[in-house]
Structure 1
Amino acid sequence: MTGRARAPRSAALLALLCVGASTALSGCGSEDPDAGTNGVGKLSAAKIERKAKAAAKGAEAVRVSGKVVSKGRTYRLKMRLKESGGVGEVSAEGGTTFQLLRTGRDLYLKAGTEFWARQEGGKEPGKSDVAAAGKLKGKYVKVPEQDPAYKQLSVFTDMETLLEGLLAMEGKRETGERGTVDDTRTIRVTAGKGSGGTVDVSLEGKPYPLRLRRAGDAGTVRLSDWNDSFPLHAPEKDETVDYGKKISSGAQGG
Protein backbone atom coordinates (compact mmCIF):
# COMPACT_ATOMS: atom_id res chain seq x y z
CA MET A 1 0.00 0.00 0.00
CA THR A 2 2.75 2.37 0.99
CA GLY A 3 4.88 1.49 -2.08
CA ARG A 4 1.99 2.12 -4.44
CA ALA A 5 1.47 5.61 -2.94
CA ARG A 6 5.06 6.75 -3.61
CA ALA A 7 5.05 6.23 -7.37
CA PRO A 8 2.40 8.85 -8.20
CA ARG A 9 4.17 11.42 -6.05
CA SER A 10 7.50 10.76 -7.85
CA ALA A 11 5.82 11.06 -11.24
CA ALA A 12 4.11 14.29 -10.21
CA LEU A 13 7.42 15.74 -9.00
CA LEU A 14 9.13 14.90 -12.31
CA ALA A 15 6.31 16.53 -14.27
CA LEU A 16 6.55 19.64 -12.09
CA LEU A 17 10.30 19.92 -12.70
CA CYS A 18 9.76 19.59 -16.43
CA VAL A 19 7.16 22.38 -16.46
CA GLY A 20 9.32 24.60 -14.28
CA ALA A 21 12.22 24.31 -16.72
CA SER A 22 10.11 25.16 -19.76
CA THR A 23 11.21 28.78 -19.77
CA ALA A 24 14.81 27.72 -20.47
CA LEU A 25 14.16 24.64 -22.57
CA SER A 26 12.05 24.07 -25.64
CA GLY A 27 11.04 20.73 -24.14
CA CYS A 28 12.08 18.75 -21.10
CA GLY A 29 15.65 17.65 -21.93
CA SER A 30 15.81 19.57 -25.30
CA GLU A 31 17.80 22.84 -25.31
CA ASP A 32 16.94 25.60 -27.79
CA PRO A 33 20.19 26.45 -29.67
CA ASP A 34 18.92 29.96 -30.44
CA ALA A 35 18.02 30.85 -26.87
CA GLY A 36 19.67 34.16 -25.95
CA THR A 37 21.07 34.77 -29.44
CA ASN A 38 20.50 37.56 -31.95
CA GLY A 39 18.36 35.21 -34.03
CA VAL A 40 20.48 35.05 -37.19
CA GLY A 41 20.98 31.33 -36.66
CA LYS A 42 17.43 30.78 -37.86
CA LEU A 43 18.09 32.53 -41.19
CA SER A 44 19.31 31.15 -44.50
CA ALA A 45 23.04 31.22 -45.23
CA ALA A 46 22.62 34.04 -47.76
CA LYS A 47 20.72 36.20 -45.26
CA ILE A 48 23.26 35.55 -42.51
CA GLU A 49 26.05 36.64 -44.85
CA ARG A 50 24.17 39.81 -45.83
CA LYS A 51 23.59 40.72 -42.20
CA ALA A 52 27.25 40.13 -41.37
CA LYS A 53 28.39 42.38 -44.23
CA ALA A 54 25.89 45.06 -43.22
CA ALA A 55 27.13 44.96 -39.61
CA ALA A 56 30.74 45.25 -40.77
CA LYS A 57 29.94 48.13 -43.10
CA GLY A 58 28.18 50.01 -40.32
CA ALA A 59 30.99 49.59 -37.79
CA GLU A 60 33.30 52.45 -36.88
CA ALA A 61 36.41 50.42 -36.05
CA VAL A 62 37.85 46.89 -36.09
CA ARG A 63 41.01 44.95 -35.33
CA VAL A 64 42.29 42.68 -38.13
CA SER A 65 44.82 39.94 -37.43
CA GLY A 66 45.94 36.93 -39.41
CA LYS A 67 47.43 35.86 -42.72
CA VAL A 68 46.38 36.94 -46.19
CA VAL A 69 47.70 36.13 -49.65
CA SER A 70 47.67 39.02 -52.12
CA LYS A 71 49.06 38.84 -55.67
CA GLY A 72 51.04 35.73 -54.83
CA ARG A 73 52.64 37.14 -51.69
CA THR A 74 51.77 36.19 -48.13
CA TYR A 75 51.36 38.87 -45.48
CA ARG A 76 50.67 38.63 -41.76
CA LEU A 77 48.57 41.52 -40.50
CA LYS A 78 48.13 43.09 -37.09
CA MET A 79 46.09 46.20 -37.87
CA ARG A 80 43.56 48.45 -36.18
CA LEU A 81 41.32 50.26 -38.63
CA LYS A 82 38.65 52.93 -38.75
CA GLU A 83 37.18 55.21 -41.39
CA SER A 84 39.88 57.87 -41.09
CA GLY A 85 42.82 55.46 -41.37
CA GLY A 86 44.67 52.69 -39.62
CA VAL A 87 47.76 51.67 -37.70
CA GLY A 88 49.59 48.42 -37.19
CA GLU A 89 52.18 45.94 -38.37
CA VAL A 90 52.62 43.99 -41.60
CA SER A 91 55.04 41.11 -42.10
CA ALA A 92 55.88 40.02 -45.64
CA GLU A 93 56.76 36.35 -45.95
CA GLY A 94 60.36 36.01 -47.07
CA GLY A 95 60.88 39.69 -46.46
CA THR A 96 60.75 42.07 -43.54
CA THR A 97 58.32 43.45 -41.00
CA PHE A 98 57.22 47.06 -41.17
CA GLN A 99 54.69 49.34 -39.51
CA LEU A 100 52.03 51.35 -41.31
CA LEU A 101 50.15 54.42 -40.18
CA ARG A 102 47.60 56.30 -42.26
CA THR A 103 45.62 59.37 -41.32
CA GLY A 104 43.40 60.64 -44.11
CA ARG A 105 45.45 60.44 -47.30
CA ASP A 106 48.80 60.61 -45.51
CA LEU A 107 50.49 57.20 -45.36
CA TYR A 108 53.61 56.57 -43.28
CA LEU A 109 55.90 53.55 -43.13
CA LYS A 110 58.37 52.64 -40.39
CA ALA A 111 60.88 49.82 -40.78
CA GLY A 112 64.26 48.56 -39.67
CA THR A 113 67.68 48.99 -41.20
CA GLU A 114 67.51 45.87 -43.37
CA PHE A 115 64.31 47.05 -45.05
CA TRP A 116 65.75 50.42 -46.08
CA ALA A 117 69.15 49.00 -47.02
CA ARG A 118 67.56 46.89 -49.75
CA GLN A 119 65.81 49.66 -51.65
CA GLU A 120 68.05 49.60 -54.70
CA GLY A 121 66.32 46.75 -56.52
CA GLY A 122 66.54 44.44 -53.53
CA LYS A 123 70.26 43.69 -54.14
CA GLU A 124 72.61 42.79 -51.34
CA PRO A 125 73.34 46.06 -49.51
CA GLY A 126 76.83 47.40 -49.10
CA LYS A 127 78.29 49.15 -46.06
CA SER A 128 77.25 52.57 -47.34
CA ASP A 129 73.68 51.33 -47.89
CA VAL A 130 73.51 49.99 -44.33
CA ALA A 131 74.94 53.20 -42.92
CA ALA A 132 72.41 55.34 -44.78
CA ALA A 133 69.57 53.02 -43.83
CA GLY A 134 70.53 53.27 -40.19
CA LYS A 135 69.43 56.91 -40.22
CA LEU A 136 65.91 55.78 -41.14
CA LYS A 137 65.59 53.10 -38.49
CA GLY A 138 62.75 53.86 -36.10
CA LYS A 139 61.57 56.81 -38.21
CA TYR A 140 58.32 57.23 -40.10
CA VAL A 141 58.75 57.82 -43.83
CA LYS A 142 55.86 59.41 -45.68
CA VAL A 143 54.95 57.37 -48.76
CA PRO A 144 54.41 59.59 -51.85
CA GLU A 145 50.96 59.07 -53.37
CA GLN A 146 52.50 58.72 -56.83
CA ASP A 147 54.69 55.82 -55.67
CA PRO A 148 53.29 52.38 -56.67
CA ALA A 149 53.87 51.28 -53.08
CA TYR A 150 51.25 53.75 -51.89
CA LYS A 151 48.39 51.91 -53.55
CA GLN A 152 49.64 48.53 -52.43
CA LEU A 153 50.23 49.47 -48.82
CA SER A 154 47.28 51.78 -48.26
CA VAL A 155 44.90 48.83 -48.82
CA PHE A 156 46.09 47.41 -45.50
CA THR A 157 44.98 50.62 -43.77
CA ASP A 158 41.65 51.09 -45.57
CA MET A 159 38.88 49.54 -43.48
CA GLU A 160 36.17 49.54 -46.15
CA THR A 161 38.36 48.23 -48.98
CA LEU A 162 40.11 45.60 -46.88
CA LEU A 163 36.90 44.22 -45.37
CA GLU A 164 35.21 44.12 -48.76
CA GLY A 165 38.03 41.99 -50.10
CA LEU A 166 38.27 39.75 -47.05
CA LEU A 167 34.53 39.07 -46.92
CA ALA A 168 34.29 38.08 -50.58
CA MET A 169 33.41 34.40 -51.07
CA GLU A 170 32.82 32.22 -54.11
CA GLY A 171 30.22 29.52 -54.63
CA LYS A 172 26.89 28.37 -53.25
CA ARG A 173 26.26 29.51 -49.69
CA GLU A 174 25.31 26.98 -47.03
CA THR A 175 24.89 27.10 -43.27
CA GLY A 176 27.69 25.32 -41.45
CA GLU A 177 28.36 24.28 -37.90
CA ARG A 178 28.00 26.35 -34.77
CA GLY A 179 30.95 27.08 -32.55
CA THR A 180 32.68 29.85 -30.62
CA VAL A 181 35.28 32.51 -31.36
CA ASP A 182 36.83 33.98 -28.21
CA ASP A 183 33.91 32.61 -26.15
CA THR A 184 31.34 34.26 -28.45
CA ARG A 185 28.83 31.88 -29.98
CA THR A 186 28.96 31.79 -33.77
CA ILE A 187 27.38 30.21 -36.81
CA ARG A 188 29.37 29.43 -39.93
CA VAL A 189 28.47 30.26 -43.52
CA THR A 190 30.39 28.29 -46.16
CA ALA A 191 30.77 28.96 -49.88
CA GLY A 192 31.47 26.25 -52.42
CA LYS A 193 31.35 23.63 -49.63
CA GLY A 194 34.19 25.49 -47.92
CA SER A 195 36.57 25.80 -50.86
CA GLY A 196 35.09 29.20 -51.70
CA GLY A 197 35.65 30.56 -48.19
CA THR A 198 33.93 30.50 -44.81
CA VAL A 199 32.86 33.13 -42.31
CA ASP A 200 31.96 32.64 -38.65
CA VAL A 201 29.26 35.13 -37.67
CA SER A 202 28.46 36.21 -34.12
CA LEU A 203 25.23 34.91 -32.60
CA GLU A 204 25.50 37.48 -29.82
CA GLY A 205 24.81 41.19 -30.19
CA LYS A 206 25.32 42.48 -33.71
CA PRO A 207 26.09 39.72 -36.24
CA TYR A 208 29.68 40.77 -36.89
CA PRO A 209 31.98 38.46 -38.86
CA LEU A 210 34.56 37.17 -36.37
CA ARG A 211 36.69 34.73 -38.34
CA LEU A 212 37.30 34.30 -42.07
CA ARG A 213 38.88 31.51 -44.06
CA ARG A 214 39.51 32.88 -47.53
CA ALA A 215 38.86 31.05 -50.77
CA GLY A 216 41.72 29.12 -52.34
CA ASP A 217 43.59 28.75 -49.05
CA ALA A 218 44.39 32.47 -49.18
CA GLY A 219 44.65 32.89 -45.43
CA THR A 220 42.69 32.97 -42.19
CA VAL A 221 41.81 36.26 -40.51
CA ARG A 222 40.28 37.19 -37.15
CA LEU A 223 38.13 40.30 -36.79
CA SER A 224 37.69 41.65 -33.27
CA ASP A 225 37.22 44.79 -31.16
CA TRP A 226 34.36 45.95 -33.38
CA ASN A 227 33.52 49.60 -32.71
CA ASP A 228 36.30 49.96 -30.11
CA SER A 229 37.75 53.40 -30.74
CA PHE A 230 41.50 54.03 -30.67
CA PRO A 231 43.74 57.12 -31.06
CA LEU A 232 45.04 57.86 -34.54
CA HIS A 233 47.23 60.84 -35.41
CA ALA A 234 50.16 61.70 -37.64
CA PRO A 235 53.63 61.15 -36.17
CA GLU A 236 55.47 64.11 -34.69
CA LYS A 237 57.94 65.97 -36.92
CA ASP A 238 60.93 64.62 -35.00
CA GLU A 239 59.66 61.10 -35.68
CA THR A 240 59.57 61.54 -39.45
CA VAL A 241 62.19 61.79 -42.17
CA ASP A 242 62.10 62.47 -45.91
CA TYR A 243 63.46 59.42 -47.73
CA GLY A 244 63.40 61.18 -51.07
CA LYS A 245 63.06 58.06 -53.24
CA LYS A 246 60.48 55.51 -54.25
CA ILE A 247 60.20 52.73 -51.72
CA SER A 248 58.47 50.10 -53.86
CA SER A 249 61.16 47.42 -53.73
CA GLY A 250 61.16 47.19 -49.96
CA ALA A 251 57.39 47.47 -49.71
CA GLN A 252 57.11 44.21 -51.57
CA GLY A 253 59.11 42.43 -48.93
CA GLY A 254 62.50 42.51 -50.66
Structure 2
Amino acid sequence: MRRGRFRRKALVGAVCALVMTGTTALTGCGGEDPDAGTNGVGKLPPDRIQARTRAAADGAAAVRLAGSVTAGGRTYKLDMRLKKDGGTGSVTAEGATFQLLRIGEELYLMADAGFWTGGAEGEESDTAAAEKLNGKYVKVPEGDPSYEKFTGFTDKAVLLDGLLTLHGTLSTDGRHEQAGLRTIRITGDKGAGGTLDVSLEGTAYPMLLSRAGGAGTLIFSDWGKDFPLEEPAEDETVDYGKQLPAS
Protein backbone atom coordinates (compact mmCIF):
# COMPACT_ATOMS: atom_id res chain seq x y z
CA MET A 1 0.00 0.00 0.00
CA ARG A 2 2.74 2.38 1.03
CA ARG A 3 4.83 1.41 -2.01
CA GLY A 4 1.91 2.27 -4.35
CA ARG A 5 1.54 5.67 -2.72
CA PHE A 6 5.25 6.41 -3.18
CA ARG A 7 5.04 5.30 -6.80
CA ARG A 8 2.15 7.68 -7.47
CA LYS A 9 4.04 10.55 -5.79
CA ALA A 10 7.08 9.88 -7.92
CA LEU A 11 4.95 9.79 -11.08
CA VAL A 12 3.26 13.13 -10.24
CA GLY A 13 6.68 14.66 -9.60
CA ALA A 14 7.97 13.48 -12.97
CA VAL A 15 4.91 14.88 -14.82
CA CYS A 16 5.30 18.23 -13.05
CA ALA A 17 8.94 18.40 -14.05
CA LEU A 18 7.96 17.86 -17.67
CA VAL A 19 5.32 20.61 -17.77
CA MET A 20 7.44 23.21 -15.97
CA THR A 21 8.55 25.92 -18.43
CA GLY A 22 10.52 28.93 -17.26
CA THR A 23 8.78 30.34 -14.21
CA THR A 24 5.34 28.99 -15.13
CA ALA A 25 4.00 25.79 -13.57
CA LEU A 26 0.69 23.99 -13.48
CA THR A 27 -1.30 24.66 -10.32
CA GLY A 28 -1.07 21.66 -8.07
CA CYS A 29 2.48 20.77 -9.17
CA GLY A 30 4.03 22.77 -6.36
CA GLY A 31 4.45 25.98 -8.43
CA GLU A 32 2.70 29.28 -7.86
CA ASP A 33 -0.63 29.94 -9.55
CA PRO A 34 0.06 32.79 -12.03
CA ASP A 35 -3.53 33.99 -11.55
CA ALA A 36 -3.35 34.16 -7.76
CA GLY A 37 -4.38 37.64 -6.64
CA THR A 38 -5.37 38.77 -10.14
CA ASN A 39 -8.72 39.79 -11.61
CA GLY A 40 -8.92 36.42 -13.37
CA VAL A 41 -8.88 37.59 -16.99
CA GLY A 42 -5.68 35.63 -17.58
CA LYS A 43 -7.74 32.46 -17.47
CA LEU A 44 -10.07 33.63 -20.24
CA PRO A 45 -9.75 32.96 -23.98
CA PRO A 46 -8.38 35.96 -25.92
CA ASP A 47 -11.71 37.02 -27.43
CA ARG A 48 -13.26 37.28 -23.97
CA ILE A 49 -10.22 39.18 -22.67
CA GLN A 50 -10.69 41.68 -25.50
CA ALA A 51 -14.41 42.00 -24.76
CA ARG A 52 -13.69 42.49 -21.05
CA THR A 53 -11.08 45.19 -21.59
CA ARG A 54 -13.23 47.04 -24.15
CA ALA A 55 -16.11 47.09 -21.67
CA ALA A 56 -13.76 48.35 -18.94
CA ALA A 57 -12.46 51.14 -21.18
CA ASP A 58 -15.96 52.17 -22.26
CA GLY A 59 -17.14 52.28 -18.67
CA ALA A 60 -14.23 54.30 -17.29
CA ALA A 61 -14.98 57.92 -16.43
CA ALA A 62 -11.62 59.16 -17.71
CA VAL A 63 -8.27 58.10 -19.17
CA ARG A 64 -4.94 59.48 -20.23
CA LEU A 65 -3.27 58.21 -23.40
CA ALA A 66 0.20 59.05 -24.63
CA GLY A 67 2.24 57.87 -27.60
CA SER A 68 2.08 57.94 -31.36
CA VAL A 69 -0.49 57.05 -34.00
CA THR A 70 0.09 56.82 -37.74
CA ALA A 71 -2.95 57.41 -39.93
CA GLY A 72 -3.46 58.70 -43.46
CA GLY A 73 0.28 58.82 -44.04
CA ARG A 74 0.89 61.11 -41.06
CA THR A 75 2.23 60.36 -37.61
CA TYR A 76 0.62 62.09 -34.66
CA LYS A 77 2.20 62.26 -31.23
CA LEU A 78 -0.54 62.43 -28.60
CA ASP A 79 -0.72 63.23 -24.91
CA MET A 80 -4.42 63.53 -24.17
CA ARG A 81 -6.67 63.31 -21.12
CA LEU A 82 -10.20 62.34 -22.03
CA LYS A 83 -13.58 61.91 -20.43
CA LYS A 84 -17.20 61.74 -21.52
CA ASP A 85 -17.83 65.47 -21.91
CA GLY A 86 -14.50 66.54 -23.36
CA GLY A 87 -10.75 66.36 -23.22
CA THR A 88 -7.51 68.29 -23.20
CA GLY A 89 -3.91 67.75 -24.19
CA SER A 90 -1.34 68.15 -26.94
CA VAL A 91 -0.95 66.85 -30.48
CA THR A 92 2.23 67.02 -32.56
CA ALA A 93 2.14 66.47 -36.31
CA GLU A 94 4.65 67.35 -39.04
CA GLY A 95 6.81 69.25 -36.56
CA ALA A 96 3.97 71.42 -35.26
CA THR A 97 2.56 71.08 -31.75
CA PHE A 98 -0.82 72.41 -30.72
CA GLN A 99 -3.03 72.17 -27.65
CA LEU A 100 -6.64 71.08 -27.77
CA LEU A 101 -9.39 71.73 -25.26
CA ARG A 102 -12.99 70.57 -25.69
CA ILE A 103 -15.80 71.20 -23.25
CA GLY A 104 -19.03 69.73 -24.53
CA GLU A 105 -19.41 71.01 -28.10
CA GLU A 106 -17.01 73.91 -27.61
CA LEU A 107 -13.57 73.20 -29.10
CA TYR A 108 -10.48 75.37 -28.66
CA LEU A 109 -7.05 75.15 -30.28
CA MET A 110 -3.88 76.83 -29.04
CA ALA A 111 -0.68 77.04 -31.10
CA ASP A 112 2.24 79.34 -31.78
CA ALA A 113 2.46 81.86 -34.62
CA GLY A 114 4.34 79.40 -36.83
CA PHE A 115 1.35 77.05 -36.82
CA TRP A 116 -0.94 79.74 -38.21
CA THR A 117 1.51 80.77 -40.93
CA GLY A 118 2.38 77.20 -41.87
CA GLY A 119 5.92 77.74 -40.62
CA ALA A 120 6.82 79.78 -43.73
CA GLU A 121 7.32 83.42 -44.52
CA GLY A 122 3.95 84.97 -45.37
CA GLU A 123 2.53 88.35 -46.19
CA GLU A 124 3.19 90.97 -43.55
CA SER A 125 -0.51 91.17 -42.70
CA ASP A 126 -0.72 87.38 -42.33
CA THR A 127 2.32 87.35 -40.04
CA ALA A 128 0.82 90.09 -37.91
CA ALA A 129 -2.46 88.16 -37.63
CA ALA A 130 -0.59 84.99 -36.69
CA GLU A 131 1.28 86.84 -33.96
CA LYS A 132 -2.05 87.88 -32.46
CA LEU A 133 -3.10 84.19 -32.32
CA ASN A 134 0.20 83.11 -30.76
CA GLY A 135 -0.54 81.37 -27.44
CA LYS A 136 -4.26 82.14 -27.62
CA TYR A 137 -7.17 79.70 -27.40
CA VAL A 138 -8.78 79.95 -30.82
CA LYS A 139 -12.37 78.75 -30.86
CA VAL A 140 -12.87 76.22 -33.68
CA PRO A 141 -16.23 76.82 -35.40
CA GLU A 142 -18.41 73.71 -35.79
CA GLY A 143 -18.77 74.49 -39.49
CA ASP A 144 -15.02 74.61 -40.09
CA PRO A 145 -13.56 71.58 -41.95
CA SER A 146 -11.02 71.03 -39.17
CA TYR A 147 -13.65 70.81 -36.41
CA GLU A 148 -14.49 67.13 -36.91
CA LYS A 149 -10.84 66.11 -37.23
CA PHE A 150 -9.69 67.97 -34.13
CA THR A 151 -12.74 66.86 -32.14
CA GLY A 152 -11.79 63.24 -32.79
CA PHE A 153 -8.61 63.72 -30.75
CA THR A 154 -10.70 64.82 -27.75
CA ASP A 155 -13.54 62.28 -27.97
CA LYS A 156 -12.95 59.34 -25.62
CA ALA A 157 -15.53 57.02 -27.20
CA VAL A 158 -14.50 57.72 -30.80
CA LEU A 159 -10.77 57.57 -30.16
CA LEU A 160 -10.81 54.36 -28.11
CA ASP A 161 -13.22 52.65 -30.49
CA GLY A 162 -10.83 53.31 -33.35
CA LEU A 163 -7.70 52.31 -31.44
CA LEU A 164 -8.60 49.29 -29.31
CA THR A 165 -9.04 46.92 -32.23
CA LEU A 166 -6.74 44.00 -32.99
CA HIS A 167 -6.88 42.53 -36.48
CA GLY A 168 -6.87 38.86 -37.41
CA THR A 169 -7.02 35.75 -35.24
CA LEU A 170 -6.67 36.52 -31.54
CA SER A 171 -4.29 34.68 -29.24
CA THR A 172 -2.50 35.27 -25.94
CA ASP A 173 1.23 35.97 -25.65
CA GLY A 174 2.18 35.46 -22.04
CA ARG A 175 2.35 37.54 -18.91
CA HIS A 176 4.07 40.92 -18.87
CA GLU A 177 4.30 44.09 -16.80
CA GLN A 178 3.35 47.69 -17.48
CA ALA A 179 3.72 50.61 -15.05
CA GLY A 180 4.33 48.16 -12.21
CA LEU A 181 1.17 46.16 -12.92
CA ARG A 182 1.00 42.58 -14.12
CA THR A 183 -0.61 42.22 -17.56
CA ILE A 184 -1.76 39.58 -20.00
CA ARG A 185 -0.93 40.26 -23.65
CA ILE A 186 -3.35 39.48 -26.46
CA THR A 187 -2.34 39.64 -30.11
CA GLY A 188 -3.93 39.71 -33.55
CA ASP A 189 -2.34 37.30 -36.04
CA LYS A 190 0.56 36.64 -33.65
CA GLY A 191 1.39 40.34 -33.43
CA ALA A 192 1.05 41.31 -37.08
CA GLY A 193 -2.46 42.56 -36.29
CA GLY A 194 -1.37 44.46 -33.19
CA THR A 195 -0.85 43.65 -29.51
CA LEU A 196 -2.63 44.82 -26.38
CA ASP A 197 -1.51 44.43 -22.76
CA VAL A 198 -4.44 44.14 -20.34
CA SER A 199 -4.15 44.69 -16.60
CA LEU A 200 -4.35 41.57 -14.43
CA GLU A 201 -4.74 43.73 -11.33
CA GLY A 202 -7.94 45.51 -10.41
CA THR A 203 -10.12 46.37 -13.39
CA ALA A 204 -9.04 44.82 -16.71
CA TYR A 205 -8.09 48.12 -18.34
CA PRO A 206 -5.96 48.35 -21.51
CA MET A 207 -2.44 49.37 -20.57
CA LEU A 208 -0.24 49.24 -23.67
CA LEU A 209 -1.22 49.09 -27.33
CA SER A 210 1.06 48.40 -30.30
CA ARG A 211 -0.93 48.97 -33.47
CA ALA A 212 -0.88 46.70 -36.50
CA GLY A 213 1.75 47.39 -39.14
CA GLY A 214 3.88 49.49 -36.81
CA ALA A 215 1.25 52.24 -36.86
CA GLY A 216 2.08 53.53 -33.41
CA THR A 217 2.30 52.65 -29.74
CA LEU A 218 0.11 54.07 -26.98
CA ILE A 219 0.29 53.89 -23.19
CA PHE A 220 -2.97 54.17 -21.23
CA SER A 221 -3.00 55.41 -17.63
CA ASP A 222 -5.05 57.32 -15.04
CA TRP A 223 -8.13 55.22 -15.74
CA GLY A 224 -11.12 56.64 -13.86
CA LYS A 225 -9.19 59.66 -12.52
CA ASP A 226 -11.25 62.81 -13.03
CA PHE A 227 -9.69 66.11 -14.10
CA PRO A 228 -11.06 69.64 -14.54
CA LEU A 229 -12.16 71.08 -17.87
CA GLU A 230 -12.42 74.87 -17.64
CA GLU A 231 -13.20 77.40 -20.32
CA PRO A 232 -10.24 79.69 -21.01
CA ALA A 233 -10.41 83.26 -19.84
CA GLU A 234 -11.99 85.75 -22.23
CA ASP A 235 -8.74 87.66 -22.70
CA GLU A 236 -7.02 84.38 -23.70
CA THR A 237 -9.63 83.49 -26.33
CA VAL A 238 -10.09 84.45 -29.99
CA ASP A 239 -13.37 83.72 -31.78
CA TYR A 240 -12.96 83.71 -35.59
CA GLY A 241 -16.62 83.18 -36.34
CA LYS A 242 -17.53 80.64 -39.01
CA GLN A 243 -14.09 79.58 -40.25
CA LEU A 244 -10.54 79.43 -38.97
CA PRO A 245 -7.80 81.32 -40.79
CA ALA A 246 -5.76 79.22 -43.18
CA SER A 247 -2.72 77.56 -41.59
Same fold? TM cut 0.5: yes
Return the alpha-carbon distance in structure 1 between the equivalents of residues 29 and 145 of structure 2: 64
The offset of 1:28, in angstroms, is 7.0
Identity fraction in percent: 57
- The residue number in structure 2 matching 1:34 is 35
Q: Does 1:202 align with 2:175?
A: no
Q: Could you list the per-position Cα deviations for residues 5-62 of structure 1 after superposition, in whole angstroms to 9, with x for gaps in the alignment?
A: xxxxxxxxxxxxxxxxxxxx94575111111100000000000000000000110000
Which of the numbers 177, 180, 186 marks the counterpart of 2:177? 180
- The residue number in structure 2 matching 1:217 is 214
Q: Could you list the per-position Cα deviations for residues 144-166 of structure 1 after superposition, in whole angstroms to 9, with x for gaps in the alignment?
A: 11111001110000000000001
Q: Does 1:140 align with 2:137?
A: yes
Matched residue SS, 1:30 = coil
Q: Does 1:98 align with 2:107?
A: no
Return the alpha-carbon distance in structure 1 between the equivalents of residues 123 and 41 of structure 2: 59
Letter in 1 for 2:140: V
RMSD of Structure 2 on Structure 1 (CA):
1.8
Please say which structure displays the higher CA radius of gyration. 1
- Structure 2 regions of 5+ residues with no counterpart? 1-25
The offset of 1:70, in angstroms, is 2.0
Q: Is the 8 A contact 1:185 1:203 kept in 2?
A: yes
Return the alpha-carbon distance in structure 1 between the equivalents of residues 186 and 122 of structure 2: 48
Give the 5 Å matches for 1:36-185: 36-92=37-93, 94-118=94-118, 124-185=121-182
Q: Is the 8 A contact 2:64 2:223 kept in 1?
A: yes
Q: Normalized against structure 1, the TM-score is what?
A: 0.83
How many residues in Structure 1 have an aligned counterpart in Structure 2?
A: 222
Return the alpha-carbon distance in structure 2 between the equivalents of residues 189 and 249 of structure 1: 43
Return the alpha-carbon distance in structure 2 between the equivalents of residues 144 and 64 of structure 1: 26
The offset of 1:226, in angstroms, is 0.2
Letter in 2 for 1:84: D
Q: Could you list the per-position Cα deviations for residues 166-208 of structure 1 after superposition, in whole angstroms to 9, with x for gaps in the alignment?
A: 1012100001121100000000010011111111000000100
Return the alpha-carbon distance in structure 2 between the equivalents of residues 67 and 188 of structure 1: 20
Return the alpha-carbon distance in structure 2 between the equivalents of residues 27 and 169 of structure 1: 34
The offset of 1:138, in angstroms, is 1.1
- The residue number in structure 2 matching 1:11 is none
